Amino acid sequence: MSPIDPALREPKGDHNRRLSLGLDPERFAVLAGISTDALRRYELTSPDEEFDLEVARRVGETLDRLEANPPPTQVVRN
């Protein structure tokens, strides 16, 4: 899977992806190499607002990496 252009990322969708991994904002921010405040600002971005492209890139790369090898915090419920 090729990385998504950071400008095309969807912050709310990335937020939901993080939640599905069972990671709190603080832990995810550490794994992404960004501040918790930067992650929160990104995830709360409205669809019509601009966001920090570097934060978006780091979030996307971290989500892709973690989804390929899910952490033990991820619980699948059927």
- Tell the residue number behind the tokens 């969807």, with chain if given: 10
pLDDT for position 69: 86
Cβ within 8 Å of residue 37, ≥6 positions away: none
pLDDT of 67 strictly over 50: yes
Residue 1 domain-assigned (yes or no)? no
Q: How far apart are CA 12 and CA 44, in angstroms?
A: 7
**pLDDT tens by residue, 14-55:** 999 999 999 999 999 999 999 999 999 999 999 999 999 999
Range of the domain at 40: 6-68
Residue 73 domain-assigned (yes or no)? no
Residue 37 domain-assigned (yes or no)? yes
Residue 74 domain-assigned (yes or no)? no
pTM: 0.87
Number of independent structural domains in the chain: 1
Q: How far apart are CA 57 and CA 51, in angstroms?
A: 11
Residue 12 domain-assigned (yes or no)? yes
Indicate which CATH number applies to the domain containing 28.
1.10.260.40
